[in-house]
Structure 1
Amino acid sequence: MSVSHRLSRTDADRLHVALMLALTFSTGVVDAVGYLGLDRVFTGNMTGNVVLLGMALTGTTTLPILRPLLALGFFLVGAVASSRIVKRDDGWSGRVTVTLWLIAGLLTAIAAVLAFALHLDPEVFGTIATSALGFAMGMQAALARRVKVADVTTVVVTSTLAGLAADSRLAGGTGALWVRRALAVALISAGAAAGALALLVHVSLGVLVSAAITVVVASLGHTGHRARAATRAA
């Protein structure tokens, strides 16, 4: 096996960071579609859903209840399903690749529903779409925990922001990991902007973009995993 087909541990770690950051961007896209295009539902950021549900359940607002509740429930189910598939492997593995392909397939199916069926019954198919998106994002979040890229959960940046501030030199820290933390925050915001712009074309476009990103992440991750395995075997 030539050197060009091998991957060092450092290179593999950098690749995993880049891939998880790409999924963070993808989450921003999906959340913009859910919140702006599908009745104020977060499908990746469950903190937002829990807060919205708390306000909605008071009956003093016009915030939706059913779709955020279903998205939250399906997110949990997706996280369980992904954990069962990936199991307890740390880092990248063939199971991680398979799970990402499943997520990409599910996102593609959701995009198809939004493109061709949403107009038939917006209430029914909108609820199906947000529930399925919650399931897909739950799978992604659990998978990210197995890959274990510090401070890049792919679905939320609250703890990332806290770490960025608390470990900064201004707070007396070393400023470690500030680049990836800043990128995670910037990319989920950029993804949300991209998702909002995609809605100007069609509600399905953002989900299709997220599916394409997931395909690229799965392919690059699998290639890197094989190259890393070749390095260990050499």
Structure 2
Amino acid sequence: MAARQGPADGGTERDGEPGRALRVAVVVLVAASGAVEAISFTALDHVFAGVMTSNLALLGMAIGRSSGAGVTAALLALAGFGAGATVVAWVTHGRKGVPAYWPPRVLLCLAGEVALLAVGAGVWAASGGAPGAVARDALQCGAALAMGAQAAAMVAAGRAAAPTTYLTGTLATYIVRGVGRASARPDRWVPARFGALIAGAAAALALRRAAPAWAGTLPLVLVMAAVLTACGPLLARRSATGGRTGT
């Protein structure tokens, strides 16, 4: 099928797939996730903010070695992620994503994530990049809350989005389609997501080393950039339809 170019999709839309703007927004969100995970694991009691499979394993290991701090950190991350995902699921309930744009309620939830990350960046900066035990617990739970919200928002966006906080399934699917099915064509944007995850984590640690107090601003800036990029297709669609789009 020939590609279709239009003002509503922010790029080329082929066979009902999202346009370039939304794909770029997903890549930037993955970079933000990489930055959050790097800071979370290296500075917030060695747990992840968005990879709950790993946190469940870490919880089991903490229980096995009778580490109260490890159990607390894992439980805070799990609780935060679950709370973030639950809130977004409630806000976006019954809304179906379309390939051309992210629904307004999805963008609203991502704006909420921006607010959470802004608070976290402020707390991190106030501590000079070295938060105490109580602040670490609050930051861990807040980071997981933000990642849970982001993950659920991408689910609500449907085919217009892709996983941004965990890429194990994405990697397996990419390998199967590229190797196991000769007739299938792997998504060329998938390697960009892998690269963004690595780049986000590397940049966060480089910034933490060079300017510790400012490390928390990187995920904030990246998510803001992703939201602004994703707003383009929605605004174009609203302009083309006289302001009539779903919420």
Name the TM tier (shorter chain).
Answer: 0.7 to 0.9
Q: Of Structure 1 and Structure 2, which has the larger fraction of its residues in helix?
A: 1
Tell whether the 8 Å contact from 1:74 to 1:132 is kept in structure 2 after alignment.
yes
Instruction: Report the counterpart of residue 74 of structure 2 in structure 1.
Output: 68
Alignment of 1:37-52 (within 5 A): 37-52=43-58
1:73-222 matched pairs, under 5 angstroms: 73-89=79-95, 90-91=97-98, 92-117=102-127, 122-149=132-159, 152-168=162-178, 170-222=179-231
Q: State the shift of 1:78 in Å.
A: 0.3
- What corresponds to 1:32 in structure 2? 38
Counterparts in 2 of 1:210 and 1:119: CA distance versus 1, 3 Å: closer
Alpha-carbon distance in 2 for matches of 1:227, 1:121: 43
How far apart are the structure 1 equivalents of 2:77 and 2:62? 15
1:231, distance to aligned residue in structure 2 (A): 3.0
1:37 Cα deviation from its structure 2 partner: 1.6
Q: Is contact 1:118-1:125 (8 Å) kept?
A: no
- The 3 A distance-change label for structure 1 pair 102 and 151 is closer
**CA-to-aligned-CA distance 1:46-75 (integer Å, 9 cap, x gap):** 222112112111017798221121111110
The alpha-carbon deviation at position 118 of structure 1 amounts to 6.9
* Identity rate, percent: 24
Q: What is the CA distance between 1:7 and its match in structure 2?
A: 2.2
Query: SS at 2:209's partner residue?
Result: coil
In structure 1, stretches of 5+ residues that fail to align are none
After superposition, the CA RMSD in angstroms is 2.7
Give the Å deviation of 1:88.
2.9
Provide closer, same or farther for how the CA distance between residues 225 and 195 of structure 1 changes in structure 2, counting only shifts above 3 A.
Answer: same
TM-score (norm 2): 0.83
Aligned equivalents of 1:179 and 1:219: distance in 2? 23
TM score, norm. by length of structure 1: 0.87
Query: Paired residues, what number?
Result: 230
User: What is the deviation of 1:172?
Assistant: 2.9
Find the aligned partners of 2:231 and 2:207 in 1 and give their Cα distance: 29
